[in-house]
């Protein structure tokens, strides 16, 4: 691979908002080490995690009010990144500062823009709104993965792997057999799969609480560069779900966004939410635990895949029909990175 696999001019999730508090939180976003914290009025701040003086990570220092104090020789920085105090001298070198990054808080997350600050438009934060809506309930998590972020996106855009990777949990033959449709526009790819008039899988039958055939859907929405939401559910056949009336059914959404840390590592954020039995904490915890074990199965595959990529730098990926959405996603990202490196523009890519 020539350049980086990730664009810089994009919003990336740095943390679930509740994890950014009055402590210094180190994170890595597209190769940049940053330190996050909150100002007195609650606004989140992101600074380069390297002191101007001798580069000690500022996250090893401490927060004093709204200032970060380096843990080595005590240089003090304000939330605008300017150094406001140097030990044993009267004046502060005016060029002493660390870089700050645009951050916004949206959907219960702190998003960071690592690229050109002039282009950081909060209106382009990925839509993960269901993560923070009171009429949807769920529980979130995030953790590092030892693989390139695009492997995770590929995985989420192709649910036929459920049949094989998750044979013991959510996989069944219907998912691998059902036809699907892929559409794309601007910075999005949508893959839609309907399974009409089928017997409800045991999990959904239990939650629906009604006998009889169901219409089951999986609608996967990718937002470039690295956000994937999966809308899943069932409704009794004949109640209009394929035409948009889901009032007789149940819906869950699995929300994911992946932040590249380096070429070979990333941070994975996810939350499963549902729009029924909102107060049932045992159900929330049960769904969370089930998702955890399913995602642990993915982790084994993804990290092994990264090892194989490292072992075989000369090999390429081949694509099947099932990879249509992932191919589109990769083309959108390629167009974004090409535009940044000046070797192309962000126009609609062509797909074969
Ligand atoms: S390295 Fe930070 S004050 Fe010296
Ligand atoms: Fe999976």
Residue 253: partners with Cβ closer than 8 Å, 6 or more residues away: 130, 136, 229, 230, 231, 232, 272, 273, 274
> What ligand 1 atom has the least distance to the C-alpha of 58?
2
51 lines ligand 1 (CB under 6 A): yes
Q: Are 79 and 163 found together in one domain?
A: no
**Whose CA is closest to 161, among 273, 294, 5?**
294
H helices within the chain, ranges in order?
149-157, 162-165, 173-177, 202-208, 281-311, 324-341
CA distance 230 to 216: 13
**137 close to 33: Cβ distance less than 8 angstroms:** no
| CATH at 180 | 3.90.380.10
From first to last of its 352 residues, what are the pLDDT tens digits of the chain? 467 899 999 999 999 999 998 789 999 999 999 999 999 999 999 999 999 999 999 999 999 999 999 999 999 999 999 999 998 888 999 999 999 999 999 999 999 999 999 999 999 999 999 999 999 999 999 999 999 999 999 999 988 888 788 877 666 666 667 788 999 988 999 999 999 999 888 778 888 888 999 999 999 999 999 999 999 999 999 999 999 999 999 999 999 999 999 999 999 999 999 999 999 999 999 999 989 999 999 999 999 999 999 999 898 888 888 888 999 999 999 999 999 988 754 444 333 3
* Domain end among 71, 102, 122: 122
Q: Tell me, what's the pLDDT at 172? A: 63
**44 close to 58: Cβ distance less than 8 angstroms:** no
Burial class of 6 by CB neighbour count within 10 A (0 to 12, 13 to 18, 19+): buried
- What is the per-residue burial (b if ≥16 Cβ within 10 Å, else e) of 163-199? bebbeeebbeeebeebebebebeebbbbbebbbeebe
> What ligand 1 atom has the least distance to the C-alpha of 54?
1
Q: Are 47 and 101 found together in one domain?
A: yes
Q: Are 148 and 117 found together in one domain?
A: no
**13 close to 141: Cβ distance less than 8 angstroms:** no
Q: Are 146 and 21 found together in one domain?
A: no
62 lines ligand 1 (CB under 6 A): no
Q: Are 118 and 145 found together in one domain?
A: no
Q: Are 62 and 131 found together in one domain?
A: no
Q: Are 92 and 168 found together in one domain?
A: no
Q: Are 185 and 305 found together in one domain?
A: yes
**Whose CA is closest to 159, among 192, 111, 116, 120?**
192
Closest protein CA for atom 4 of ligand 1:
73
Residue 230 lies in a domain: yes
Alpha-carbon dihedral sign for residues 124, 302, 190, 283: negative
Structural domain count, the chain = 2
Q: Tell me, what's the pLDDT at 171? A: 62
| CATH at 16 | 2.102.10.10
Residue 155 lies in a domain: yes
Two tokens, residue 45: 């701040």
Range of the domain at 52: 12-122
Burial class of 54 by CB neighbour count within 10 A (0 to 12, 13 to 18, 19+): exposed
Q: How far is the CA of 327 from the centre of ligand 1 (A)?
A: 46
**Whose CA is closest to 44, among 139, 113, 135?**
113
Q: Are 245 and 323 found together in one domain?
A: yes
């Amino acid at each position: 691979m020539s350049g980086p696999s990730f664009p810089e001019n994009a919003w990336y999730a740095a943390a679930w908002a509740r994890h950014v508090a009055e402590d210094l939180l180190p994170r890595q976003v597209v190769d940049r080490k940053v330190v996050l914290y909150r100002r007195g009025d609650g606004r989140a701040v992101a600074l380069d995690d390297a002191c101007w003086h001798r580069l000690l990570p500022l996250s090893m220092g401490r927060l004093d009010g709204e200032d970060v104090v380096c843990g080595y020789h005590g240089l003090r920085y304000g939330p605008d990144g300017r150094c406001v105090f140097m030990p044993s001298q009267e004046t502060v070198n005016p060029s002493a500062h660390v870089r700050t990054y645009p951050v916004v808080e949206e959907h219960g997350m702190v998003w960071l823009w690592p690229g050109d600050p002039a282009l950081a438009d909060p209106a382009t934060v990925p839509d993960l709104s269901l993560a923070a809506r009171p009429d949807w309930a769920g529980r979130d998590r995030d953790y590092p993965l030892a693989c390139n972020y695009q492997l995770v996106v590929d995985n989420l855009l192709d649910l036929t792997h459920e049949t094989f990777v998750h044979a013991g949990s959510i996989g069944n033959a219907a998912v691998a057999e059902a036809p699907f449709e892929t559409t794309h526009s601007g910075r999005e790819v949508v893959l839609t799969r309907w399974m009409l008039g089928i017997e409800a899988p045991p999990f959904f039958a239990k939650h629906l609480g009604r006998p009889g055939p169901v219409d089951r859907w999986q609608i996967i929405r990718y937002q470039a560069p690295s956000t994937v939401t999966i809308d899943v559910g069932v409704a009794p056949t004949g109640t209009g779900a394929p035409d948009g009336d889901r009032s007789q059914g149940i819906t869950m959404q699995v929300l994911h966004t992946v932040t590249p840390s380096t070429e070979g590592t990333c941070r994975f954020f996810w939350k499963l939410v549902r729009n029924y039995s909102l107060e049932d904490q045992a159900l929330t915890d049960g769904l969370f635990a089930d998702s955890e074990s399913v995602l642990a199965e993915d982790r084994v595959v993804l990290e092994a895949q990264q090892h194989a990529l490292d072992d075989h730098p000369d090999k390429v990926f081949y694509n099947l029909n099932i990879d249509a959405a992932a191919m589109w996603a990769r083309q959108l990202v390629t167009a974004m990175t090409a535009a940044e490196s000046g070797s192309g523009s962000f126009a609609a890519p062509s797909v074969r």
